[in-house]
Chains A and B, each alone.
Chain A
Amino acid sequence: MSACVGVFAVSSSREKRTGAEALQREGELNRFFAEVERRALRIAEIGVRDRDEALDLVQDAMIKLARRYADRPADEWPPLFYRILQNGVRDWHRRQNVRNRVMVWFGRTSADDGGYDPVAAAPDPIGRTPDEELANEQAMDKLELAVAELPTRQREAFMLRTFEGLDVAGTATAMGVSQGSVKTHYSRAVHSLREKLGEHWQ
């Protein structure tokens, strides 16, 4: 009888510990998502030029990370999360290409659906003078357009390094390429953007 009680006590404490660990993990993941979600949304939005689509992609990435990698160390989450997100963006572009080909075949273009409107999608301004807001919005619009026109790998390297602040190793994991490749893509992206935007940008 006492042995049974002992076994129950050990089992019960293990369950309690497991439950506490799970709750702690959930809290950590919640904090990670809360910290990263807004930047991730803007990065996805620049990638696909559509906020609603970007919201879906970010949510999918969060769900996949929670489902597959929640047990991994927290410092591995940022590159894993952005890898999932970038894969989502690439898949989205593949689907769009197929869709556009079909539309062209039927004699329509995607412009018929109402293309991306930077003014309509611009975020609400807060806490700045109207002139500053306008200048920043215009500069950001130019930057967004220029970034969106970069080749995929250069765009990913630039956004992950500059906007998200991942280091070279993290960016390499997120992109699924070598660190040398990240450095090359990033360098080309910066030079290309500076060339497009000109010296008087900003």
Chain B
Amino acid sequence: MTEANDERFEQQAKALFDDSVDRLDAATLSKLNQGRQAALAELSTSRSRAEWVRWAPATGLAAAALVAVVMLRGPAPVDTPTINGAAAATDFEILIGEDSLEMIEELEFYSWLDVADAEVLDNVG
């Protein structure tokens, strides 16, 4: 008897609930529809995110392989300036020569001498 009463009560409750669902107003239904569209839009977003995630490991592996190749080959050869042996020896001689200090002390004189020589050459030309 109690079970039958429970069942009747459940049926009444269900019928009332369904009735209240059927009486939802248009504004509420519109809001529900908007919510559903937002959820479906989220589905598209998460799908494109999943696509990116699917390709991410391959992209990462390719980048790692590229770095490995670069590291194995070592740095590219760089054109380094070569030192002319004879010129270097001459410079060295000047540096260690006894006159070098004297020349530095009288740098202004040698500079004037250089300019004067140039003027003489211009006049002759």
Chain A residues packing against B (C-beta within 8 Å): 22, 25-26, 29-30, 33-34, 37-39, 41-42, 51, 55, 58-59, 62-63, 65-67, 70, 123-126, 136, 139-140, 143, 162-163, 165, 190-191, 193-194, 201-202
User: How far apart are the CA atoms of A63 and B40 in the complex, in Å?
Assistant: 7
- How many Å from the CB of B75 to the closest CB on chain A? 35
Bound: A202/B35 CA distance, A: 34
Return A156 CB to nearest CB of chain B, in Å.
15
* Selected contact of B23 from candidates A126, A190, A193, CB within 8 Å: A126
Q: Return chain B residues, CB-CB under 8 Å to A140.
A: 16-17, 19-20
Q: Which chain B residues lie closer than 8 Å to A143 at the CB level?
A: 13, 16-17
Task: Evaluate contact between A162 and B10: CB separation under 8 angstroms.
Answer: yes
Given contacts A67-B42, A162-B14, 9 further A-B contacts (CB under 8 A): A29-B43, A41-B24, A58-B35, A62-B39, A63-B39, A123-B24, A124-B26, A143-B17, A163-B14
The 5 tightest CB contacts between A and B, nearest first, are A59-B35, A62-B39, A123-B23, A124-B25, A66-B43
Contact status B22-A126, CB under 8 Å: yes
Please measure, in the bound complex, the distance between the C-alpha atom of A139 and the C-alpha atom of B31, giving whole angstroms. 26
Measured between beta carbons, the chain A residues less than 8 angstroms from B10 are 162, 190
The secondary-structure label for the interface of chain B is: helix
B87 within 8 A of A: no
B90 at the interface (CB under 8 A from A): no
Bound: A201/B36 CA distance, A: 36
Interface residue ranges, B against A (CB under 8 Å): 5-6, 9-10, 12-14, 16-17, 19-26, 28-29, 31-32, 34-36, 38-40, 42-44, 46-47
A63 contacts which chain B residues (CB < 8 A)? 38-39, 42
User: Which residues does chain B contribute within 8 Å of A165, judged by CB atoms?
Assistant: 14
Q: How far is the CA of A34 from the CA of B29 in the complex (A)?
A: 10
Q: Could you say which residues of chain B place their CB within 8 Å of the CB of A29?
A: 39-40, 43
From B5, B25, B32, B47, A37 is in contact (CB under 8 Å) with B32
Contacting residue for B29 out of A26, A38, A39, CB 8 A: A38
Residues of chain B within 8 A of A41, CB atoms compared: 24, 28, 32
Residue of B13, B26, B32, B35 with highest tally of chain A CB at under 10 A: B13
Partner of B24, one of A22, A38, A136, A201: A38
Q: Are B35 and A37 in contact (CB under 8 A)?
A: yes
Cα separation A165 to B29 with both chains bound (whole Å): 21
A25 to B39, CA, bound (A): 13
Chain A proximity of B10: nearest CB distance (Å): 5
A22 to B47, CA, bound (A): 8
A100 to B25 alpha-carbon distance, docked (Å): 31
Chain B residues near A34: list those with CB within 8 A.
36
Q: Does A39 lie within 8 Å of B46, measured CB to CB?
A: no
The distance in angstroms between the C-alpha atoms of A193 and B16, with both chains bound, is 14
Chain B nearest Cβ from A37, distance in angstroms = 5
Chain A residues with Cβ below 8 Å from B26 are 124
